Structure 1
Amino acid sequence: MGNIWIGIDTGGTFTDLVLVDQETGEYCYHKLPTTTSDPSKAILEGVDEIIRLARRRPEEVAFLVLGTTLATNAVLEGKTAPTGMLTTRGFRDVLELARQRRPHYFNLDILKPEPPVKRDCRIEVGGRIDHDGSVSTPLSEDDVRAAANILRDKGVQAVAICFMHSYANPEHEEQAKAMVQKMLPGVYLCTSSEVLAEFREYERFATTAVNASLMPIMDRYLERFVQGVKNLGINRIPRVMQSNGGAVSPAAVRRMPVNTFFSGPAGGVIGTVGLGRQLGIDNMITFDMGGTSTDVCLIKKGEPAKKNERQMGGFPVRTRTLDIHTIGAGGGSLAWIDAGGLLKVGPQSAGAYPGPAAYGRGGTRPTVTDANVVLGRLNPRQLLGGRMKMYPENAQKAFEDELGEHLSGDSVKAAAGILEIVNVNMIGALRVISVEQGEDPRDFTLVAFGGAGPLHAADVARTIGMRRVLVPPRPGLLCALGQLHADVRGDFSLTRMLPTTPDSLPTLNTSVKELRTQGERWLSGETEQREDAHFEWLVDLRYVGQNGELILPLPQERLTTADLDQLTAAFHQRHELLYGYKMDEHAVEIVTLRLVVRAKRPTPPAEHAQLEGSDIEKAIVEHRDVWFPETGFVGTPVYDRERLPIGCTFSGPAIVEQMDTTTVVPPGAKVSHDKYGYLMIEMEPAAAGKAK
């Protein structure tokens, strides 16, 4: 068995790779443009190249994990597979009726999102299961056969089977699935009871339909990836990062591709949790700015915030995810003029190809990256440690051609305006996960990573009032590094509508046992280290008649009357804390039981900074004019991060360059460089604003 670990994060612009030797602690890093037509091509090229760069052999690779946004892009771009649906008679239009809310309350011209299954491919069949799991009407096998024939003629590649109340009794869905498998052997199938065994038919139907529509795409992609890894000579089965922060087998992802919507960004959050543990920092906000988007997540007391539902392509997808908020603001975000003559930035992106104008790949429209080049913040000659040539004249021309007539030909003013707009957009994202959740961002450290995060982090932090910005040693590669911190994790749920009274105990304990069986079965296919697995039990509760639930931990796996009393009291207390009141006299209802299965993995070793000494002047590679809001252009020292000695300190204005990113230090800020290679930027009290 080898001792080499490789983490991969494939984004819209670049594919990042990290290789570490678990025995020696030696790291190797690599970055190359994403092949958007087939992301697996750049991934496999990158794996081959980083192994050779590290002078190692493929057979030494013991662990390889991938973070991917393929499922997200497929849904957002409408490039999912042709999909059919079998549903209970009378419920064909659930996906379009939804919650009967318009996408925008005050704009009647916005079209409703296109369902993942077209209406003529949603076929009703006879049969009905009641809310208590009893069979009201037997499943019509003739209807199922007729539906399968119709869907065959429609040429669907996947089928979602969504029957009413299947969370209470999956019998009809399993029966229909077995029949369709025989009639349509090449079609991908999933049932709503497999995907989401929870009540609320719209969310369950939508999640299952999206999952089915992604199965052919993810299966083909992962087949190329797995086979390509094998062809390279790597004998270990690779892993794939999930939205919940766990790494699982490709087989698990093929069954449940909806679990990978935040696969790539989740790596950055998990990596931040790891570095926070290393440095003793509990409260952090991640700031991951890449080429096409910015992802932010709040981490409190070492635990990232989580959610059970996300909107994807206009439809609710109920699956356990880290609470990562994403906006269309990245280095490749395009600047444009709206109908009223106002300057806008994003969400459209130049992507990897043609990319920003300064990259010289054919891009002609100005982007955030081009603005940073014009303002001297990015190296005008080269990026990626000299492997990527820059063309500042192209950036200048893009501003003159696209924005010149609207902004009096002042490219500096236009570039400064672009930075201000994109920073305001990102401040709005930080507010969503902090201020709007009752948290003061001034109590947190902003952790900047991604290829563009350190470029903007200090300006964003001081505007919102945050005093400290932490820049990891390899910020442009933290998402890839974070993949190596991921445990094996699976989330399972089961709706059981029951009062918190002793009469419910037999059903509750039977359901808990059913969930444990499901979790153990899943775990047996994911890891051989089953003795290290941890089972965490949670439950959704609400007052009878409420439409929303609160999640609380179960006191223990085998419940007693005392446990139910304790759970009820905890719910009243939690409800009062969140909403300002409680109703002690009102009945409390158990809605959904939840299980988190986690098998811990070893963590990668910390990388120590190499240079010691105190001569920081040797790290200065040049002085160049850089624009700052408070000074305009000013002569600024540019530091090579690889040459910064351990323990050094310096003040802004300054630029710190490295292979994977550039860090901007504003005037008045102070920077310290610790033994692990982290940069801590601290803003002076006068420079720090107030949380707005």
Structure 2
Amino acid sequence: MKRVSVDIGGTFTDCFVAWGDRYIESKALTTHQNLALGFNEALKTACRQLDISERELLSQVDSVRYATTLGTNALIERKGPRLGLLTTDGFRSSVPLTRAKGYGTGLPHKQQMDVPNAQRPDPIVPIPMILEVRERVDYAGAVVMPLDEDQLRDRLRELVDLGAEAIVVVLANSVVNPVHELRIREIFLEEYPGHMLGAIPMLLSHQVVGRKGEYVRAMSTIIDGFLHQVMYHGLGTLELNLRNAGYDKPMLCNHNSGGMAQLNSTDALQTVHSGPVSGIAASEHLALQTGLGNIVATDMGGTSFDIGIVVEGGIKHYDFNPVIERWMVSVPMVHLVTLGAGGGSICHYDRMFQTVQVGPESAGSDPGPACYDRGGMKPTVTDADLLLGYLDPANYAGGHIKLNPRRSKQAIEAHLADEMDESVVDCAKLIKRTVDANMANGIARELRTRGYEPEHFTILAYGGNGPLHACGIARALGVKTILAPPFASVFSACGAGNMSQLHIHEMSTWTTLFDANRQAFFSDYDRFNGVVEELERRGREDLLRQGFEPAQVRYRLELDMRYGNQRVETAVVTDLNRVTAPEHVLKLIEQFHERYGERFGAGSQTPEAGVRINTIRVCSYIEHPGIRFRSIRPPEKLLPAPPPIGTRDCHFVGVDGARKTAIYGEAALTPGTRIDGPAIVVTRATTYLIEPGWRYTAADQNAVWFTRLDA
């Protein structure tokens, strides 16, 4: 297997190359003005390790896969086209008003509680660009009011005159009957054919989202339309760069659903958060191949700290109404929580509580932390790590970035030390303790709100800064063991190389499996099977368009079910692809009953209220060979620490004064190597910090266990 996988983050571009039995990891700074430049630099570093040219490598690989934060950045910076929105008469205010708690969506808990100062996010579509058309389809799909085509033509002209660069169409109940949305597109092309308006896109909501829920469906389509242009040009530049370098196969993009697809089969909305989701996918494969059991995936990069959960058996948690930026959308996305706690997170003095606050703002890669010497003036977590002695100024990021400790000292003095009347070192230690506690609290909150305890999980610490803060996170969390997985610094890029090509299609339905009023079971099998067949057809066509044969396509059926009129829905994965007999209906009810009990506790089930299916979802996918993880358990024969390559004075949280700390090189990654802290292991890709009272044990494929000495 020869494959290139890339994770373009806010600070670094990570590259993972599978070249037969060799796995190569490399990094470069992300070049936001042209993502291809950062990719080329990371690929060049990998090629030097393989002693091969970039053109020769790209001509031989079977695929190049990208995970990117391009869409996330575009939303934050509001870089996108001027959108126009057409909606059903009477629904014009549904998007600007958001939902009842729209003022707090996407904000930290503290800000959500500050209701007097609450403000809803600025709308992506300006209110004058939202126009109504007369039409109506009821909940069952019957046309109650036909589309007023004359008025529609006036509305289209008005949006074009107002400067719309893309048009989004969101009509009530169009997921049940899309006839009016389809007719609007026909009329638009009649009035404004391509040779007149060029390539102005029109997005229909029923093609983006298959579930009911007018507001979340509208926001999904709006965000997809807003990101369309940015993603088209950004990813198009990456694909053109590959073509110029000799790569002649389709470029693949990772999706936040846990799958991937070719660029021509990828919606912009599917790429948001695809980088962190790739890390969760890698965690899932690691757990399945090595028998790790329950896993908490934690990715500490340069910009953020991402948390995901994979329970035993490789079952991921999904969000079916995730929050992207400040808006709730309606796309299936692997569940993750993002905290502003990366290496580039900016630190400032909180006057009210007289302490240091870390994040959520980040210095990114440009200008970056103050120590990058690129114009950054504010202190960051990386500046604190440098002044505490953990980082080598001359050998950071494989020697590609030279750090300037003087800049870090100036930034902390100006923004923290003078305000707090503390020494620079004490401020740096406070930053380290604060960011570690923030990450530990995020992990604990995420697990306990779902009914889990941290001690029942293996915690993975990866990303460029994960192994550097692993001991601090474990100390604050109260756990005694933590794992830096294989290829920790580029683990998300590694996960991008393991994903299958996958498409998810879903449709809202009103299907009552057990009617409590009539004491009757569902019997309209043809209607149910017809919906499943239609969703399978859509997924199959997606994959056939990418060059696969029908026999290669696999399907997985998922149902969102609930008791009676409960608001809470539970996703049920079933091996039944068709329902043809009463025993199939009973099996679905039994599977729902069991899954509901696992989630809310045995005895909480209420079948006497009736059982309903609200959404039918089909995952269509192609299985691909993936990267093989070997045993991550340390060998039975442990090795003494190799000779250190030097020493450095380091400062640690809870320890007075500086401690002379041994520094080790790549030799410390030899499986079986055991080192007691304090010590530091420096590699080309990352830095492993072993704090006092902790033990470092190396395993295969550069996996590392951190264990408390009293464990």
Bucket of the pairwise TM-score, normalised by the shorter protein: over 0.9
Which deviations, in whole Å up to 9, do the C-alpha atoms of 1:64-108 show, x marking residues without a partner?
A: 001101111111222232111111111111112332234235422
Q: Specify the alignment match of 1:11 in structure 2.
A: 9
Query: Is contact 1:34-1:42 (8 Å) kept?
Result: yes
Q: Specify the alignment match of 2:541 in structure 1.
A: 521
- Aligned equivalents of 2:201, 2:643: Cα separation in 1: 57
Q: Specify the alignment match of 1:165 in structure 2.
A: 173
Is the partner of 1:628 in helix, strand or coil?
Answer: coil
Counterparts of 1:48-197 in structure 2, within 5 Å, are 50-51=46-47, 54=50, 55-56=52-53, 57=56, 58-101=58-101, 102-103=103-104, 104-184=112-192, 185=194, 186-197=199-210
Q: Specify the alignment match of 2:321 in structure 1.
A: 309
Counterparts of 1:277-288 in structure 2, within 5 Å, are 277-288=288-299
Shift of 1:619: 4.7
Which deviations, in whole Å up to 9, do the C-alpha atoms of 1:150-208 show, x marking residues without a partner?
A: 11112222111111111111111111122223444321121111011111111111111
Query: Is contact 1:621-1:640 (8 Å) kept?
Result: yes
Query: Is contact 1:161-1:192 (8 Å) kept?
Result: yes
Q: Specify the alignment match of 1:296 in structure 2.
A: 307
**1:564 has 2:585 as partner:** yes
Q: Specify the alignment match of 1:689 in structure 2.
A: none
- Aligned equivalents of 2:206, 2:669: Cα separation in 1: 55
Q: Relative to 1, partners in 2 of residues 1:577 and 1:13: Cα closer, same or farther, differing over 3 Å?
A: closer
- Aligned equivalents of 1:308, 1:466: Cα separation in 2: 31
Shift of 1:545: 2.1
Q: Relative to 1, partners in 2 of residues 1:369 and 1:519: Cα closer, same or farther, differing over 3 Å?
A: same
Q: Alignment RMSD, CA only?
A: 2.2
Is the partner of 1:181 in helix, strand or coil?
Answer: helix
Q: Relative to 1, partners in 2 of residues 1:391 and 1:13: Cα closer, same or farther, differing over 3 Å?
A: same
Q: Relative to 1, partners in 2 of residues 1:616 and 1:180: Cα closer, same or farther, differing over 3 Å?
A: farther
Query: Is contact 1:554-1:567 (8 Å) kept?
Result: yes
Q: Specify the alignment match of 1:600 in structure 2.
A: 623
Q: Relative to 1, partners in 2 of residues 1:246 and 1:619: Cα closer, same or farther, differing over 3 Å?
A: farther
Q: Specify the alignment match of 2:488 in structure 1.
A: 475
**1:634 has 2:624 as partner:** no
Q: Specify the alignment match of 2:25 in structure 1.
A: 29
- Aligned equivalents of 2:452, 2:419: Cα separation in 1: 40
- Aligned equivalents of 1:630, 1:48: Cα separation in 2: 42
- Aligned equivalents of 1:506, 1:274: Cα separation in 2: 37
TM-score by length of structure 1 reads 0.94
Question: 2:251 is matched with which residue: 216, 227, 238?
Answer: 238
Q: Specify the alignment match of 2:109 in structure 1.
A: none
- Aligned equivalents of 1:47, 1:377: Cα separation in 2: 27
Is the partner of 1:548 in helix, strand or coil?
Answer: coil
- Aligned equivalents of 2:631, 2:706: Cα separation in 1: 19
Which deviations, in whole Å up to 9, do the C-alpha atoms of 1:322-357 show, x marking residues without a partner?
A: 111101111011111234243211111111111111
Shift of 1:587: 1.8
Is the partner of 1:558 in helix, strand or coil?
Answer: coil
Shift of 1:582: 2.6
Q: Relative to 1, partners in 2 of residues 1:280 and 1:545: Cα closer, same or farther, differing over 3 Å?
A: closer
Q: Relative to 1, partners in 2 of residues 1:555 and 1:599: Cα closer, same or farther, differing over 3 Å?
A: closer
Residue type matched to 2:62 in 1?
A
Residue type matched to 2:92 in 1?
R
Q: Specify the alignment match of 1:658 in structure 2.
A: 683
Question: 2:337 is matched with which residue: 325, 332, 355?
Answer: 325
Is the partner of 1:405 in helix, strand or coil?
Answer: helix
Is the partner of 1:428 in helix, strand or coil?
Answer: helix
Q: Relative to 1, partners in 2 of residues 1:619 and 1:422: Cα closer, same or farther, differing over 3 Å?
A: same
Which deviations, in whole Å up to 9, do the C-alpha atoms of 1:254-285 show, x marking residues without a partner?
A: xx211111111122122222333343212211
Query: Is contact 1:555-1:563 (8 Å) kept?
Result: no
- Aligned equivalents of 1:578, 1:265: Cα separation in 2: 25
Q: Relative to 1, partners in 2 of residues 1:447 and 1:530: Cα closer, same or farther, differing over 3 Å?
A: farther
Query: Is contact 2:66-2:252 (8 Å) kept?
Result: yes
Shift of 1:367: 0.6
Residue type matched to 1:656 in 2?
V
Shift of 1:536: 0.6
Shift of 1:630: 3.4
Q: Specify the alignment match of 1:681 in structure 2.
A: 706
Q: Relative to 1, partners in 2 of residues 1:530 and 1:462: Cα closer, same or farther, differing over 3 Å?
A: farther
Query: Is contact 2:641-2:674 (8 Å) kept?
Result: no
Counterparts of 1:277-676 in structure 2, within 5 Å, are 277-301=288-312, 302-340=314-352, 341-500=354-513, 501-528=521-548, 530-554=550-574, 556-559=576-579, 560-580=581-601, 581-606=604-629, 616-632=640-656, 633-676=658-701
Shift of 1:615: 6.9
Q: Relative to 1, partners in 2 of residues 1:37 and 1:443: Cα closer, same or farther, differing over 3 Å?
A: same
Q: Specify the alignment match of 1:39 in structure 2.
A: 35
- Please list every run of 5 or more consecutive structure 2 residues that lacks an aligned counterpart in the other structure: 105-111, 514-520
Query: Is contact 1:445-1:466 (8 Å) kept?
Result: no
Runs of 4+ in structure 1 over 4 Å off: 605-609, 612-617
Query: Is contact 2:379-2:408 (8 Å) kept?
Result: yes
Which deviations, in whole Å up to 9, do the C-alpha atoms of 1:124-155 show, x marking residues without a partner?
A: 11111111111111112222211221111122
- Aligned equivalents of 2:139, 2:317: Cα separation in 1: 32
- Aligned equivalents of 2:146, 2:619: Cα separation in 1: 34
Residue type matched to 1:625 in 2?
D
Which deviations, in whole Å up to 9, do the C-alpha atoms of 1:597-654 show, x marking residues without a partner?
A: 1211111355899xx9987554521121222223232122111134543322222222
Is the partner of 2:420 in helix, strand or coil?
Answer: coil
Query: Is contact 1:215-1:257 (8 Å) kept?
Result: yes
Range with bigger deviation, 564-573 or 67-76: 564-573
Shift of 1:61: 2.4
Identity %: 28
Is the partner of 2:449 in helix, strand or coil?
Answer: helix
Question: 2:279 is matched with which residue: 268, 292, 306?
Answer: 268
Residue type matched to 1:663 in 2?
Y
Query: Is contact 1:197-1:495 (8 Å) kept?
Result: yes
Residue type matched to 1:293 in 2?
S
Q: Between Structure 1 and Structure 2, how many residues are aligned?
A: 679
Query: Is contact 1:542-1:590 (8 Å) kept?
Result: yes
Question: 1:207 is matched with which residue: 187, 211, 220?
Answer: 220
Residue type matched to 2:297 in 1?
T
- Aligned equivalents of 1:235, 1:409: Cα separation in 2: 58
- Aligned equivalents of 2:307, 2:370: Cα separation in 1: 27
- Aligned equivalents of 2:484, 2:594: Cα separation in 1: 39
- Aligned equivalents of 1:373, 1:625: Cα separation in 2: 11
Is the partner of 2:299 in helix, strand or coil?
Answer: strand
Q: Relative to 1, partners in 2 of residues 1:143 and 1:94: Cα closer, same or farther, differing over 3 Å?
A: same
- Aligned equivalents of 1:605, 1:310: Cα separation in 2: 31
Residue type matched to 2:305 in 1?
T
